[in-house]
Every structure is written in C-alpha cells, then in structure tokens.
Amino acid sequence: MFAIYVLYPIVSSIVLSFYSWDGVSARTFVGLANYRELVGTDTFYTALENNLIWLVLLLLAPPIGLVFALYLNQSVKGIRFVKSLFFAPFVVPGVVIGLVFSWFYDPAFGLLRVLAGHGVPVLGNEHMATFGIIAAALWPQIPFCMILFLTGLTGMNPEIIEAGRLEGAKGWSLLWHVVLPQLRPATFMAVTLTVIGALRSFDLISVMTSGGPFDSSTVLAYFMYDQAIKYFRFGYSAAIAVVLFLIMIIFIAYQLRRLLRAER
C-alpha cells in the first residue's frame, strides 16, 4: 500500500518533471528545461517568499497551542466544555473557514469593517492578502497543536513532576526543565506537521484569493495546481512539486536528526 500510494507517485512525479506533457498527447523529453524555466520565473520566487512567510508565521501555532494546552490541562468543573470550544475550529473544513474569513474581511459588510470603523480590503491588497490568509490558517492550526500537547500532558509521568517540585522547581523552571523535555515527541509532531501544513497550503488560498491579487498570495502548492489544471503543463507542474518535496524532505530530516540526537 505504501509503495502504491506513496513511493510510486513520488517517483512518477520526479520522472514527469523531465518531460513536457499536456495530459493528452505523447510526452516529450525536455531534460532540465522545466527546472530552468522555473528558476527564471518571477512567480516562482513570489511563491517561495510567501511559503517562507507562511512557515514563519504558522510556527506561532505550536507555542500558542502549548499555552492553551497548559491552561486546559486542569481538573475543574466545565473544563470539558471549554476544551470542545477550543477544539471546534480544527474540525471545520478548510473551505468553510476560507468562506467565513472572506466574509469577515469583506470591506462592504464584513465584521472587520464594523471593528475598524471602515472597509479594509485585506484580500484585495497585494501587501495584506497573504497575512489575511495566514490569520485564517492559524485559527484551526492552533487547536490542532493544542490537542497534540494535551495528549502529551495526559501521558506524562506524575512522579517526575513531583520529584521536580521536591527539588524546588516551580513555575517557568518546572515547565522548562521538567514538563517540556517530556513533551519533546509532541513538540516534534506539532512543529513538523505545522511546517508541512505551511508548505503545502492550498485550500484557503484557492477559496479566498485564487493566488491574487496579481499572484501576490500564491504559494508553491497553488502555483503547481495552477500550471497543471489551468494551463495543462503537467511536466512543469511536476517540477514545482519536486522542488516543494525536496524542501519538505530537508526540513523533516533536520528535525528528525535533532529529535534523535536529543533522545540519545
């Protein structure tokens, strides 16, 4: 199953990136022409820059999720209901989130107009569109990280925490030296999945801006889709996919190396 649904598509995409193909006619081998064209395209660098912005800002989700998890990891009356409220955004489909935030940002009747006192064209401004979409992406990503940390907190060894308290650790010292080391696997999962989500961001961009205005909010995943679906350039699209795949592999390998070294 892994070979059919993971390895084979990866190898097929790499092979396809060396061809020119419209999805119908015969493939034409072009070597590195797709990659040369890609590095000479301004949209590629815009998408790469936006992916970097997504990466930096979406990494706010793990620490904020940890704060919420620490707050919700207590036995008080009504905490389960509060947990469900925090978790609710994660189960909402991305398309629905995109529509809701599009209405929120609408300069004619959106809630942001009411809060700001005047219409703010967030999604129509090339300097603001990417940040508006990232704000929408953070809304479900923070609860996702919160759940990972909550799972880690419930599985912690209480004897280690008690031993830390007996040694005089409390507050920030207890969190840094006793709690966070036990949350290392949850932290690894939260950071890695957040980075993957930032690099493969697509649905919110498709719903909210379609990569606009003037390709200012496009990212590599949407650029790849745009070239394949709209312009039938499947070989060129595969080259974009390979570049995105390499970026993900490099980061995941780096994070795994850090995790294994810390465990040793």
- What values do phi and psi take at 221, rounded to 5? -65, -40
Specify the pLDDT at position 109.
Answer: 85
Specify the pLDDT at position 170.
Answer: 75
Task: Give the structural domain span for 177.
Answer: 48-221
Residue 62 and residue 123: Cα distance in Å, rounded? 26
Q: H or E segment at 124?
A: none
Specify the pLDDT at position 237.
Answer: 96
Asked whether the predicted pLDDT for residue 107 surpasses 90, the reply is: no
Mean pLDDT, residues 87-91: 83
Mean pLDDT, residues 133-147: 93
259 within a domain of the structure (yes/no): no
| Cβ 216 vs Cβ 126: under 8 Å | yes
Quick one: 137 exposed, middle or buried, by C-beta within 10 A (0-12, 13-18, 19+)?
A: buried
Mean pLDDT, residues 205-216: 92
Mean pLDDT over each residue of the chain, to the nearest integer = 89
Q: 42 pLDDT band (50/70/90 cuts)? A: very high
User: Which residue's structure tokens are 């070597």?
Assistant: 31
Peptide bond into 213 cis (omega under 30): yes
**Residue bearing the bigger pLDDT, 176 or 190:** 190
Task: State the first-to-last Cα distance of the chain, in angstroms, to the nearest integer.
Answer: 32
19 within a domain of the structure (yes/no): no
What single string gives the DSSP state of each residue in 186-250?
HHHHHHHHHHHHHHT--HHHHHHTTT-STTTT--HHHHHHIIIIIT--HHHHHHHHHHHHHHHHH
**149-171 pLDDT, tens per residue?**
998 888 887 777 778 877 777 77
Residues contacting residue 29 through CB under 8 Å, at least 6 positions apart: 18, 19
199 within a domain of the structure (yes/no): yes
Asked whether the predicted pLDDT for residue 212 surpasses 80, the reply is: yes
250 within a domain of the structure (yes/no): no
| Cβ 199 vs Cβ 47: under 8 Å | no
183 within a domain of the structure (yes/no): yes
Pick from 93, 68, 95: nearest CA to 83: 68
Specify the pLDDT at position 58.
Answer: 95
Specify the pLDDT at position 56.
Answer: 93
Question: How many domains, in total, are found in the chain?
Answer: 1
Tokens, residue 54: 């997504």
Asked whether the predicted pLDDT for residue 208 surpasses 80, the reply is: yes
6 within a domain of the structure (yes/no): no
**63-83 pLDDT, tens per residue?**
999 999 988 887 777 778 888
Tokens, residue 225: 């889709």
187 within a domain of the structure (yes/no): yes
Specify the pLDDT at position 172.
Answer: 81
Q: Amino acid identity of 64?
A: I
Q: 184 pLDDT band (50/70/90 cuts)? A: confident
169 within a domain of the structure (yes/no): yes
Residue 161 and residue 179: Cα distance in Å, rounded? 7
Specify the pLDDT at position 216.
Answer: 92
Residue 80 and residue 86: Cα distance in Å, rounded? 10
Q: Any idea what the CATH number is for the domain that residue 201 is in?
A: 1.10.3720.10
Residue 237 and residue 179: Cα distance in Å, rounded? 44
Q: Amino acid identity of 188?
A: F
